[in-house]
């Protein structure tokens, strides 16, 4: 399983304004990695206190992030249209 790497976001308003963004999520993961490494000791202590296997928690978090890949959302009403797809 892989983390989502790119998100395509499109917004259209009734005034004719159109916005299309290609968001590179892999840059977000690179920026978040140092923060996650700093928070790792706190996570280990919390897992020890709650008597949870730390590897199971990491696996569940990884599976949750991996499941975001392939998400397709469209919201359309009289005034706006929003489209989001995660690759």
**DSSP per-residue letters across 20-56:** EEEEEHHHHHHHHHHHHHHHHHHHHHHHHHHT--HHH
Question: Is residue 33 one of the residues assigned to a domain?
Answer: yes
Question: Is residue 1 one of the residues assigned to a domain?
Answer: no
Number of domains in the chain: 1
Question: Is residue 37 one of the residues assigned to a domain?
Answer: yes
pLDDT-derived band at 15 (thresholds 50, 70, 90) equals confident
pLDDT-derived band at 48 (thresholds 50, 70, 90) equals very high
Question: Is residue 12 one of the residues assigned to a domain?
Answer: yes
- Structural domain of 76: 6-86
pLDDT-derived band at 44 (thresholds 50, 70, 90) equals very high
Over 90: is that where the pLDDT of 1 sits?
Answer: no
Question: Is residue 66 one of the residues assigned to a domain?
Answer: yes
Question: Is residue 32 one of the residues assigned to a domain?
Answer: yes
Residue 71 phi, psi (nearest 5): -70, 135
Distance CA 67, CA 57 (A): 15
Question: Is residue 65 one of the residues assigned to a domain?
Answer: yes
Residue 52 phi, psi (nearest 5): -120, 140
């Amino acid at each position: 399983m892989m983390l989502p790497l790119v998100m395509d976001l499109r917004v259209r308003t009734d005034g004719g304004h159109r916005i299309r963004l290609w968001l590179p999520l892999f840059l977000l993961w690179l920026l978040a990695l140092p923060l996650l490494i700093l928070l790792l000791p706190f996570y280990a202590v919390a897992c020890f206190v709650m008597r949870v296997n730390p590897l199971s928690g990491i696996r569940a978090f990884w599976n949750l992030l991996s499941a975001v890949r392939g998400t397709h959302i469209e919201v359309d009403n009289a005034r706006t249209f929003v489209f989001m797809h995660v690759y």
